[in-house]
Amino acid sequence: MAGQKIQRQTGVALWRQIADRIRTSINHGDFDETGMVPPETTLALQFGVNRHTIRSALAALAQEGIVRAVQGRGTLVERKERLSFPISKRTRFSQGIGDQVRETRSVLLASGEEAASMELARQLKIKTGTRLVRLETLGQADHRPVSRATSWFPADRFGDIAEIYRATGSITKAFKELGVPDYVRVVTEITATHADENDLTDLQLSPGAIVLVAQALNADLGNVPVQYSISRFAADRVRFTVEN
Amino acid sequence: MAGQKIQRQTGVALWRQIADRIRTSINHGDFDETGMVPPETTLALQFGVNRHTIRSALAALAQEGIVRAVQGRGTLVERKERLSFPISKRTRFSQGIGDQVRETRSVLLASGEEAASMELARQLKIKTGTRLVRLETLGQADHRPVSRATSWFPADRFGDIAEIYRATGSITKAFKELGVPDYVRVVTEITATHADENDLTDLQLSPGAIVLVAQALNADLGNVPVQYSISRFAADRVRFTVEN
DNA sequence: CTTAAATGTCTATTGATATAGACAACCATA
DNA sequence: TATGGTTGTCTATATCAATAGACATTTAAG
């Protein structure tokens, strides 16, 4: 672990800054040899804080299930997590990370119908007020939540997509049944922000965590927009890969 | 401004969470009509906190130069910041955001020579230990720091790149002088993490801020890797756009 | 000139954050 | 079984973060 300086009086508690740093170190593989985090007293010395502050940080990581403290022995690394998520013309959730995990699953959290806002109309190249189907979905890899997405589809073409998606758990399959044999990613916008309340519950994050936000437009082979989606990924668990 | 819920007892002070949200709103253009942030009492009501907490948040934004409070009138928006940064085959720093700002500039912070680590060798498809030139650069847009990058180049082909870059402020021009008329982006990996100490100083961020990290590989037209770089962007100031 | 609305300043109180020190409980191992 | 190293628990204190209320100061508008 390099660069141990910690910022004080910035609105971010020391224990949280330290927890974030240790989590990053774990994901980076810094403790792979021993499988353990350094002793609390060592960390306290490294970060220049009191041992109790280190304990608060480790308690937060234990709450996330990333480490587990064992009295008398030390603090064990329980779980590392960062999946590589490719972004290309043929971006699909399950295919991209399929070879990195044993099982991928997509579940429908909610669905509904609404009128296109100005922003959505602009993206999907339709008129404001056009009816849209909205799907709220959760992507899982090996039973761990990875992404949370809201998607919009023109209701005239895809009015029944919620039903089919609920049955198949796949957007690709639902498109096929509705007469779209194939589709391509037109553009993806990527930003990062702090996790909001829904992220915390759906993605099982701890407050202060970071989410990568991908806003994507998919079109059919005739280049007609078929889906606009906003996906939120736990930044600790994924990495985006753009291949040109 | 939507979704006003704020997290309590998370290690991140309320005033900082609120400052982040207001900054995002400003960048999103929510206050463009009036050019002013809502009154403190209104914000206090919206966020469900005391007016003094709002004042702390606005004081932080004023410190960043984003807003300016005027007694008797209100709090004015001074500056918006979020650049769209395209990622494609022809990704270059200055061209991508050139039409969004008046001036882009790139400065050399440091340079040196080193032996390729295993990871760098793998990326650049060379042998471990091969000599590499390392450049540390800072990208600016309208005199505001936007990105901080570390780049590696094979020393046999690009031994003098530091000199040329220092003179021209452009990687593209340096490549041209060294016999690489054009180059393409092979792959970009995108992650997000909390700002570290160097980010805070170089990018003028406040602790707890988020950085988007892009690890990129560029190759010449013969598909031979010429540059591997790790760039760190202030997440509040940029958005990545991937066009397929 | 008056008034309403906005930011600026002050005091006081409570809870969260961080430090400090001491000691108990547990584990591995010599 | 004795010891060193580790996590767990407790008390105490100081500072930061957040709330609450009162009032001053400035600006714009009637």
**Is A12 within 8 Å of B13 when comparing Cβ atoms?**
yes
Tell me how crowded residue A201 is: count the other CB atoms within 10 A of its CB.
12
pLDDT of the residue at B106: 81
Largest CA distance in chain A: 66
Q: Reply yes or no on whether the pLDDT at A207 is more than 90.
A: no
**Is A240 within 8 Å of B186 when comparing Cβ atoms?**
no
* Residue B9: band (very low, low, confident or very high) from pLDDT cuts 50, 70, 90: low
Between strands B131-141 and B144-154, the pairing is antiparallel
B7 in A contact zone (CB under 8 Å): yes
- Verify if strand D has an atom below 7 Å from the CB of A7: no
Integer Cα distance of B81 and B186 in angstroms: 29
The percentage of chain B sitting over the pLDDT mark of 90, rounded to a whole number, equals 37
Q: Which residues pair with B213 in a beta bridge?
A: B191, B232
Two structure tokens written together for B216: 């990129």
- Verify if strand C has an atom below 7 Å from the CB of A13: yes
Residues of A (11-70) whose Cβ lies below 8 Å from B: 11-13, 15-17, 19-21, 24, 60
* Residue B2: band (very low, low, confident or very high) from pLDDT cuts 50, 70, 90: very low
Which domains does chain A carry? 14-77 (1.10.10.10), 83-242 (3.40.1410.10)
Two structure tokens written together for A177: 């049944």
Distance, CA of B39 to C1' of D28, in Å: 15
Two structure tokens written together for B208: 């707890």
Two structure tokens written together for A20: 């974030």
Spatial CA neighbour of B51 closest among B67, B39, B60: B39
Which of B91, B200, B240 is the best substitution to test chain A (most A C-beta atoms within 10 A)?
B240
For residue B11, list chain A residues with Cβ-Cβ distance below 8 A: 12-13, 15-16, 19, 60, 207-208
Spatial CA neighbour of B195 closest among B216, B180, B210: B210
Q: Taking residues A195-217, report their average pLDDT.
A: 81
The percentage of chain A sitting over the pLDDT mark of 70, rounded to a whole number, equals 86
Provide the shortest C-alpha distance from residue A133 to chain B (in Å). 21
Which of A6, A12, A17 is the best substitution to test chain B (most B C-beta atoms within 10 A)?
A12
Integer Cα distance of A51 and A45 in angstroms: 8
Amino acid identity for residue A27 in this structure:
N
Determine the nucleotide nearest to B44 by Cα–C1' distance. D19
B2 in A contact zone (CB under 8 Å): no
> What is the ipTM metric for this complex?
0.69
- Verify if strand D has an atom below 7 Å from the CB of A9: yes
Give the nearest partner residue to B240 out of A16, A189, A244, using CB atoms. A189
- Protein-nucleic contacts, chain A 63-102 to strand D, CB < 7 Å: 69-75
For residue range A61-115, what is the model confidence (pLDDT) as tens digits? 888 788 999 999 999 998 776 666 777 776 665 555 555 555 567 889 999 999 9
- Verify if strand D has an atom below 7 Å from the CB of A118: no
Residues of A (196-235) whose Cβ lies below 8 Å from B: 196-197, 200, 206-208, 210-212, 235
Let me know: does A128 contact A116? Beta carbons within 8 Å. yes
Determine the nucleotide nearest to B17 by Cα–C1' distance. D17
Tell me how crowded residue A47 is: count the other CB atoms within 10 A of its CB.
20
For residue range B45-95, what is the model confidence (pLDDT) as tens digits? 998 999 999 999 999 888 878 899 999 999 999 877 666 777 777 666 555
Integer Cα distance of A151 and A174 in angstroms: 13
Beta strand residue intervals within chain A, DSSP E: 36-37, 67-70, 74-77, 83-87, 104-115, 131-141, 144-154, 183-194, 210-220, 225-234, 238-243
SS3 A10: coil
Between strands B144-154 and B225-234, the pairing is antiparallel
Q: Report the side by side order of strands in the sheet with B104-115.
A: A83-87, A238-243, B183-194, B210-220, B225-234, B144-154, B131-141, B104-115
* Residue A1: band (very low, low, confident or very high) from pLDDT cuts 50, 70, 90: very low
